[in-house]
Amino acid sequence: MKMMIALAALLAGTAASAETVVITAARMLDVATGTMMEKPMIVAQDGRITSVGRQGSMPVTDARRIDLGDLTILPGLIDMHVHLTSDPTLSGMQSLRYPGSFWTVIGVAMARRTLDAGFTTVRNVGAGDYADIGLKMAIERGTIAGPRIVPATYAIGATGGHCDSNELPAEYILDRPGIADGPDAVRQKVRELHRRGAEVIKYCATGGVFSIGTSVGAQQYTQAEMNALVDEAHMLGLKVAAHAHGTSGIKAAIRAGVDTVEHVSFADAEAFDLAKKAGTWFSMDIYNDDYILAEGAKNGVPEESLAKEREVGLKQRQTFQAAWKAGVKMAFGSDAGVYPHGDNARQFAKMVEWGMTPIDAIRAATMKAAEALGREADVGQIAPGRYADIIAVAGDPTKDVATLRDVKAVVKGGVVVKDAR
């Protein structure tokens, strides 16, 4: 058997001395079929899963063992929409008192919190100072603990739009590296962010809740600008995420060919049809509203934004329900950073409240999110070839998604990074 493993390692192109890890638990949720497997055993080599079976079905000697006891294991969770370098308790004008270096440090702490909550992969859709690139590199080196990051760096946007900084009067000259106007400038911006390490392009297609002086419903790039942006990103092999609340901006983004639309509050039936035809994913942060309305004022969120939130919150949830019913593809995106990092999993219960079954909600944060990222080969399932990113909870999350708020153990790449049993 030892020889077989050595041979397999050689065939896989890895050193024969590659470390083998065997992970066991009481049961495993297979997210693809929605069924539970009793007494699973997962074998991983160099951080990637090589086989999945029943305990006792594959004799393995010479392996490091991770036994997750009487817990239920499932794939590490994926959040399509986070801002690791944001702190919701420092909102509005008070955030302007902190320099870029401060937000990078925040990112280090929040990466750990996110991982501990069972989110082993995140898409970071907007960070200052290209901080998500440094975070990703430090995590990959093992210098700090955190999830796998798909970084966007700066979110691209129009002058005065949701992705601009409009808090101060315009005579205060601010560095605004995400701003670009006109198709050519937008193309150049995509190239620049790609050069800086962006792996996804995020842009603002409409106004938003947290920006000053923007209307959530208003479109903020022309069709020509969006077309140029998406064309350039796709040419470079990058996916595109569009922030869009308003109806016309959502449709323009889908027509431009974006891969995911974020928020999607005022989408109508025509937008659902367009998305279904184009294969566009919706990533809807439907937990957010509860937190913003309860804590926003205390956190410094200006009344202007709270008023916009009251306009958007319920509508967005109704749109989520209608879009899911219409058959639009959905991936889990929380916008953590606007609400506390580590609480990402609170959104599962909202998704169930608004029309998904628990397994649908879990799929949205595992295999479906992996598909939306174009990373099915790496993450989103406990299956051969994927990273050994595995979380453990007590009980059955397909019966009660709230169990996902209490992740007992996290394994990332075959290494235990949290064990709170």
Interaction site with ligand ARG (CB under 6 A): 208-210, 263, 285, 288-289, 292, 309, 312-313, 316, 335, 338
Name which of 331, 408, 321 is nearest 374 in CA terms. 331
327 burial class (0-12, 13-18, 19+ CB within 10 angstroms)? Answer: exposed
Residue with tokens 């109508």: 268
Closest approach of ligand ARG to the CB of residue 401, in Å: 19
Closest approach of ligand ARG to the CB of residue 304, in Å: 11
Three-class HEC string of 265-325: CCCCHHHHHHHHHHCCEEECCCCHHHHHHHHHHHHCCCHHHHHHHHHHHHHHHHHHHHHHH
Closest approach of ligand ARG to the CB of residue 81, in Å: 9
Q: Which is nearer to ligand ARG, 5 or 328 (CB)?
A: 328
Residue 19 Cα distances to 49, 50, 142, 288, angstroms: 12, 12, 17, 42
Closest approach of ligand ARG to the CB of residue 402, in Å: 20
Closest approach of ligand ARG to the CB of residue 109, in Å: 21
Q: Which is nearer to ligand ARG, 50 or 91 (CB)?
A: 91
Q: Which is nearer to ligand ARG, 210 or 387 (CB)?
A: 210
Residue with tokens 């569009």: 242
Q: Which is nearer to ligand ARG, 225 or 309 (CB)?
A: 309
> In this chain, which residue has its C-beta nearest to ligand ARG?
208
Closest approach of ligand ARG to the CB of residue 207, in Å: 8
Q: Which is nearer to ligand ARG, 29 or 286 (CB)?
A: 286
Closest approach of ligand ARG to the CB of residue 89, in Å: 16
Residue with tokens 């995106």: 333
Q: Which is nearer to ligand ARG, 46 or 309 (CB)?
A: 309
Q: Which is nearer to ligand ARG, 121 or 288 (CB)?
A: 288
For residues 326 and 348, give the distance between their C-alpha atoms in angstroms, rounded to a whole number: 20
> How many CA atoms does the CB half-sphere of 182 hold within 13 Å?
3
Kindly tell me the sign of the dihedral angle through the C-alpha atoms of 381, 385, 387, 392: positive
Name which of 377, 378, 330 is nearest 350 in CA terms. 330
